[in-house]
Amino acid sequence: MTTDVPTSPGAVTVSRGRTGRGRGRRRYQPREVAWAYAFVAPAIVLFAVMGVYTLFWGLQLSFVQWNGLTPTWLWVGLRNYTDLLWASPVFSPPVRAAALNTVWVMIAAPLLTVVISFPLALALNRARRFVGLLRSVYFVPYITTGIAVYLAWQYVLEPNGAINTLLGALGLGSLSQPQGWLGNPDTALPTLIVIMVWSAVPVATLLYLTGLQTIDPALTEAAQIDGASWWRVNLSVVWPLLRGITAVIVLLNLRDALQGFQIFLIMTDGGPGDHTNVLGLQTYRLAFQSELAPTLGLASALGWMLFVAAVLVAFVHLRVTRERR
């Protein structure tokens, strides 16, 4: 059933679908229209308050200097944006450093997730015994991901933690990190990326598994009859058929990498020093960790820049994948 946009209140016309009782249009009575509006009103009001108003208010905030307390704010125009990008020696250097870290996360996290989850899904799809158990085991990181798991990882990664102990026991003590994996500025960010990937692989694997089960076995059998090896079948037949799922996985991970900061806040708070600060965390810091300095506008401006970046990334990614199809 499709509903036309009403030209005036009380003049709503509804064209019935093909399964309806008739193809003709019927005019609703004003009272019926009023009822319709009454039932739709809560959703519209909630969206107007929680959605439109918040968006507009947030956008307005990005052009002002304010600490969230004073009854008035100072209009600064685009200065928040220029300060974050280049103009301020205080605010732009951490943003640039955080942007660089974010870019690394955006490259590494989706790539590693795909590289690990696709072969894992292929292997799980071939498994004939303990299928349910194996799939449950690989899904555990997803259902346990959260603050508790991040704290558990901290213990594993500290100087006397399980990883350093294990490396020592294996005679690989030279690879251990005396300051802990999160304490060394050179290993902290890669370690966090690995944990992000660990958290993302289960869903990606599940998506790939779903995709694999929709592929017509005749396609792979035909390739095998033509003499293609297992690798060749998966790379030249299966992988292209799952390109759409790969696009979704990459897009989800890009979004997480660009806007998510939970793991960075909980595990390192951007440290050591500023070596794992990312743009999402920098936004949080400007909003809530600046000791009531009037930086809420800067936080909002950075949030909007992240939004634009996310839209651009999604647009470019979708264009690229569509062209390949």
Kindly list the residues in this chain that would bind other proteins in the complex (CB under 8 A).
32, 35-36, 38-39, 41-42, 45-46, 49, 67-71, 83, 87-91, 94, 154, 158-159, 178-180, 182-183, 185, 268-275, 288-294
The rounded distance, in Å, linking the Cα atoms of 65 and 74 is: 5
Integer-rounded Cα radius of gyration of the chain: 26
Least Å from the CB of residue 277 to other proteins: 9
The answer to whether the beta carbons of residues 12 and 31 sit under 8 Å apart is no
Maximum distance among all Cα pairs of the chain, rounded to whole angstroms: 83
For 325, what's the count of Cα atoms within 13 Å in the CB-facing half-sphere?
13
Strand partners, 25: 15
Least Å from the CB of residue 33 to other proteins: 11
Interstrand relation of 25-27 and 64-65 (parallel, antiparallel or unpaired): unpaired
Please, which residue, 120 or 286, has the CB nearer to other proteins? 286
Least Å from the CB of residue 87 to other proteins: 7
Least Å from the CB of residue 24 to other proteins: 18
Please, which residue, 125 or 269, has the CB nearer to other proteins? 269
Please, which residue, 253 or 277, has the CB nearer to other proteins? 277
Which SS3 state, helix, strand or coil, does residue 14 take?
strand
Please, which residue, 35 or 75, has the CB nearer to other proteins? 35
Please, which residue, 244 or 271, has the CB nearer to other proteins? 271
Least Å from the CB of residue 198 to other proteins: 19
For 107, what's the count of Cα atoms within 13 Å in the CB-facing half-sphere?
7
The rounded distance, in Å, linking the Cα atoms of 32 and 182 is: 63
Q: What is the 3-state secondary structure (H, E, C) of 51-91?
A: HHHHHHHHHHHCCEECCCCCCCCEECCCHHHHHHHHHCCCC
Please, which residue, 39 or 231, has the CB nearer to other proteins? 39
Please, which residue, 85 or 248, has the CB nearer to other proteins? 85
Q: Where are the alpha helices (DSSP H) in 28-180?
A: 30-46, 54-61, 79-82, 92-126, 131-144, 147-157, 162-169
Q: Read off the tokens for 141.
A: 């990181």
Least Å from the CB of residue 322 to other proteins: 39
Least Å from the CB of residue 66 to other proteins: 10
The rounded distance, in Å, linking the Cα atoms of 31 and 50 is: 29
Could you tell me which residues come within 8 angstroms of residue 28 by beta carbon, excluding any fewer than 6 positions away? 10, 12, 13, 14, 36
Least Å from the CB of residue 116 to other proteins: 26
Least Å from the CB of residue 142 to other proteins: 26
Please, which residue, 65 or 220, has the CB nearer to other proteins? 65
Please, which residue, 135 or 275, has the CB nearer to other proteins? 275
The CA-atom distances, in angstroms, between 293 and each of 25, 66, 204, 289 are 60, 8, 41, 9
